[in-house]
Structures are given as structure tokens and as C-alpha cells.
Amino acid sequence: MTVYFMCAVLLMMGLYCLVAKKNIVKKIIGIVIMDYAVNLYLITIGYKNNGVAPIIEKTTSPELLERFVDPLPQALVLTSIVIGLGTLSLMVSMVIRLYEKHGTFDMSQISKLRG
Amino acid sequence: MNPVPLYVAIPLGAAFLIPLLGMWWKKSGETLAVLSTLVLAVMAILAIGTPAMVHHMGGWTAPLGIALVSDGLTVLLLIAVNVIAFLCIIFSLKYMKVYTGLTKYYSLFMLMVAGMNGVVVSGDLFNLFVFLEVASIASYALVAFGVEADELEAGFKYMILGSVASVMILFAVGTVYAVTGTLNMADASREIATRFGGAEMNPALLLAAAFFLMGFGLKAALVPFHAWLPDAHPSAPAPISAMLSGVVIKSLGVYAMCRVMFHVFGFGTASPSSAIIANAMIGFSVLSIVVGGLLAIGQWDFKRLLAYSSIGQIGYVTLGIGVGARVLATGGTRSLAALAILGGLFHLINHAAFKSLLFLSSGAIQQATGTRDMKMLSGLRKRMPITAATTNLAALSISGVPPFSGFWSKLIIIVATIRAGLMGVAVVAIAMAFVTLAYYVKVQREILFGPVRGPAESAKEVSPLMYVPMIILAIVCVGFGLLYPVLGSRILEPARDALLNGAEYVKLVLG
């Protein structure tokens, strides 16, 4: 249970960073922290104390079967990391273009649109 | 052969072939995009009236493998997405000539279509998330396609908020998996129904539902999650604005929300937990209707006005669906819930038609006059008769003037809201319908009528490649209003029944 709370705290830290920081690079770091908090959360769902890799053989005993970890969240996290990488690279490239246009990373100086 | 996977495979294949062939063949983007969207649009229209279908990916049956499902609701969205994508591509052929890097544009466009079709046909929560990300990332890039300061800023804002939404949706998907032990929507809904059917839900599931509501609400730009939309939609090139306002916010936001709420969390049965979520949905809808409508009045940038109006109109769509869900959750009559949901879905497809038409018209006006500032435009009716006529039709339709389509869908939603006993909500909805009329009258007066002056003097009617898609959409707007009896029984009622009968969805997918 504590682990889940820690994930939630990490998620909120990322959200705080996103909302409070003016520097757009720091905002991106906030997004990445949020992303990793969720990845960590997914991993802990599948976590088991003393777990072993879930590879079934003919000789696998029922006791070992009990100790198998759930492989599905790990597959989800792999996919989510790849998606996160794609989003991150697009964000960083946009930040570079924004820097070229304005010469600053400060969102309050960049921002002209009223929302 | 089962056609369901083709809705994803065709645009995805085109998206990757376009830049590859583009190295040797300059016209690869235009040709492949027109061909593939035409095939998709024809496939979607032919799918009307076909029975519900499931495709099990790789031959693995439902709870184990990923299922692609096509039922009434899917067909409704597929028609909206693919027909509008085709018309927007035709419009792009001429409109996008002024931009460079067109192979990238068409490639991203097809990627966005693939993502939306994927979200719509997916029967698996995580698969839905993946396709949602595909469509979202493509749309972030397309909003910033002009790479000027405004476009980049709008794209960046959209991207930050979109990423927050994606994180929330992923968190909710993980929580549903932790509680039910499955990602298949039908399997998860069966599990939730057997464990909590009719009773208070597990707090973890309630949290997941709240996160889904926030995440999809952000994608659908419901107030208070709307801040990105008025920047992102006007900054994109006109065909992309038409896609974003016309179908992206609906397939990624409203559709995904409905599918998850009805077919995973079991909105179809009376329970205190679904009443909470349904009330939250109604609250967000009312806020959207009011905030979107009031902010639209003060806008002088034509595309920005349309963007705010999208927020208000999407509020009507979710209001219809939310009222239906509330009636079911509190044990009301099924026919009343069916009426409310029908109204919501009808407004969804109507809004897809007239809002994309309005955005395409704004693109035509911007290209002909070089501005979208309503203070500088005047008298376009004399210079651009076709564009003016289509804009007029769309404006009449969206502001709910009978006998155009927008009138009937708003009428159904408001009647259902009154019969559900939500008088206050209904009064707000009616009042804001008049506000919608007010700001579209402003559009007509400022842009279309009046003396010809300023940039309008040198304006000429746009090329047929641009106005033909607009005329087709205008015919659709009128047709939806007049041909409701035909349209309703063939498209809308199957969609409504698919949404209402969660048990049938489970049977369909799990066999």
C-alpha cells in the first residue's frame, strides 16, 4: 500500500513541476516524472515478493507456479516507455523550435495566445 | 473476410508508405491519401446496417488476445471520421499548396486517421490507450505544422495538456487491470458486474472512473479541461482544424468516454456509483455549454470563435449522454435514457458535419482574403457566393434553426433533460442555444453581409477542389435535418442500442 502512495506522491510532484515552473524544459521534466510515476505504479501492480519469471515448462511445480509474477504489466510498461519516448522527442523538438523563435525558455515571455 | 482490421491497417500502411515513396515520387502524399481515405469512407458507409462483428487479432480469442469490435456505435463514429477525413484531404489538395513538407503532412494526417479508427474499433483498454496516443501525437505535430511562433506555442500547450490526459488515462487503465485482472473491456465489465452489480463500487474503481473522466474530458475539451482548445484549433491549418474540431475531440474524447463508462463501468444498470459519475458528467457539460458559449460571443477572430463554439457544442453532446446515464443509474425508464442518448449521438454526428464545414469555410475565407479578423471582413456574400452560402447553412444548422439538423438534436436533448426532471439544466441549455444563435448571427452580419470593403474587395471564389467538399458537407447538414427518419433508424438507433446494451457487447466479444 505504501508503494502506491509513493507513486501517487511522485505523480503529484510531476504535476506540481508542470504547473508551477515557468521554464518549458522543466515543464517537460514534470511530464516525464508523471509518466514514470505511472510506469512505476503499473510495475508494482505486477510485483510479487520472491517472484520468479513466468516461464512454464513441463517440469514446473505448482509451488513455483504460485510464485510467478504477472508478466502483463511489464509488457504494458515497455509499450508505455516507448510511447513516452516518442512524446518526449516531439516535445523537445518543439522546445528547440520555440527557443529559436523567442530566444528564451520562459513560458510567460513566450505566451501570446490567451487560452 | 472480416473488414474491421482494415480500418486501422489501410491508413497506417498509407502513413508509412507516403514518406517512403515520397523520396522518389513527389505526388505520393496526395495520391495515397486520397485513395486510402476514399476507400475508408466507402467502407464505412457500406458498413451501415451490417451486423456487429469481432475480429480476434492473431487468432487469440477474446480475454487473452486483443479484440477489434465493430458494433452500431463504432459504425457511427467510423462514418464521421472517415467521410470527414476524405473531404478534408480533398480540401487540403489545394489549400495546403502554400506549405512545404507536404509528404510529412499527408503522412501525419493518415497516422491521425489510423489512431482514431483504432480507438473506435478497439475492444481492449490498453490498445485503446495506444491508438489514442498515436492519434494525439500526430495531432500535436499537425497543430504545430506551420512552425511559426503561434503554431508552436499552441502545439506545445496542446501537447503538455494532452500528455497529462494520457498519463491519467494510463493510470486509470492500470487501476482497472489491478482490480479486475483483465484489460479486455467486455471481460472487465463482466467482472465488475458480477462483483459490484448495482451496489457501491470499490473505491479504486471509482478513482479509475474519475481519472478516465478527467483524461477523456481533457481530450474532449470539456470545461474546466478546455484551455488548450481555443489555441490549438485556430492555429492549425484549416483542414486540420476541421478534423480536430469535427472528429478528433469526439472519437478520442466523447466516444472513448462513453465506451469505457458504459461498457466497462456498467452505466447500463442502476447503481449509486454510476450516478455520481453521471452527475459529474452533467456538471462538466453544463459548464462547457455556458463557458464555451459566453466566451465565443466576444471573439473577433473567426477561427477562435468557432473553437469556443466547439467547447459549447461538445457540452451538448455529453449532456445528452450524461442525462441518459443518470436516468439509468437512478433507475429511471429505459426509453427516456434511450431518448437522451440518441439526442447526444445525433448532436455528435451533426456537430462533426457543421463544425468541419465551418472550419473549412474559415480556411477558404482566410485564403481568399488573407485575414480571419472579423472586423476587417465584410460583404463576402457578393465576392464568394458559394463559400458564403455554405457558411450560412452551417451557421443556421449549428445555431439550431429549424428545419436544419442542429435544431432536432438540441430539441431531443432538451426534451430528454426536462423529462428527466433536470429543469435547471434544461433552462441553461435553452438559454445557451439562443446565445449560439446570437454569435452566429454576428458571424453572418460581420463577414457575409454588409458592404464590400477592405480585404474582401480583391477576394475571389476559391477553387472547386476547395468548395466541392464544402458543398458536400452543406448537403449533409441539410440532409441530416430533413432525412432524420431514414438516418435515425439506420445509423443512430443501432448506435444507441449498442451503447445501452452492455450485456450484448459482452456476449458479442466473449462469445
Domains of chain A: 2-112 (1.10.287.3510)
The distance between the two most distant Cα atoms of chain B, rounded to a whole number of Å, is 69
Instruction: Measure in Å the smallest separation between the Cα of B230 and chain A Cα atoms.
Output: 6
Nearest to A98 among B133, B156, B235 (CB): B156
Amino acid at B137: I
Q: Point out the least confidently predicted range of A24-28, B29-33, B267-271, B491-495.
A: B267-271
pTM over 0.90: yes
**Which cell goes with B220?**
474532449
* d(C-alpha A9, C-alpha A40), whole Å: 12
Report yes or no: A24 at the B interface, CB cutoff 8 Å.
yes
* d(C-alpha B14, C-alpha B32), whole Å: 6
SS3 category, B373 = strand
Nearest to A102 among B126, B149, B167 (CB): B149
Q: What is the mean pLDDT of chain B?
A: 91
Would you say B363 and B446 are in contact if contact means Cβ atoms under 8 Å apart?
Answer: no
Would you say B55 and B7 are in contact if contact means Cβ atoms under 8 Å apart?
Answer: no
Q: What are residue B184's DSSP bridge partners?
A: B124
- pLDDT value at residue A114: 62
- pLDDT value at residue B418: 95
Which of B450 and B91 is assigned the larger pLDDT?
B91
- pLDDT value at residue A28: 95
Q: Across residues B165-177, what is the average pLDDT?
A: 95
**Which cell goes with B74?**
463504432
Do A18 and B152 make contact, defined as CB atoms within 8 angstroms?
no
Kindly list the residues from chain B whose CB atom is less than 8 angstroms away from the CB atom of residue A115: 157, 227, 230-231
For cell 512454464, the residue is A56
B489: exposed, middle or buried (Cβ count in 10 Å: 0-12, 13-18, 19+): exposed
Do B153 and A73 make contact, defined as CB atoms within 8 angstroms?
no
- pLDDT value at residue B336: 94
Report yes or no: A87 at the B interface, CB cutoff 8 Å.
yes
Residue among B306, B304, B398, B394 nearest B357 (CA): B394
Taking CA atoms, what residue in A is nearest to B308? A115
Amino acid at B413: I
Amino acid at A18: L
Contacts with B40 (C-beta within 8 Å, 6 or more apart), sequence order:
B7, B10, B11, B82, B85, B86, B113, B117
SS3 category, B55 = strand
pLDDT at A115 over 70: no
Q: Which pLDDT tens digit goes with each residue over B268-318?
A: 778 888 899 999 999 999 999 999 999 999 899 999 999 999 999 999 999
Instruction: Measure in Å the smallest separation between the Cα of B307 and chain A Cα atoms.
Output: 11
Do B150 and A112 make contact, defined as CB atoms within 8 angstroms?
yes
Do B230 and A114 make contact, defined as CB atoms within 8 angstroms?
yes
Neighbour-count burial for B35-56, b at 16+ CB within 10 Å, e otherwise: ebbebbbebbeebeeeebbbbb
- pLDDT value at residue A91: 95
ipTM of the complex: 0.95
Nearest to B171 among A31, A38, A115 (CB): A38
Report yes or no: A115 at the B interface, CB cutoff 8 Å.
yes
Instruction: Measure in Å the smallest separation between the Cα of B41 and chain A Cα atoms.
Output: 29
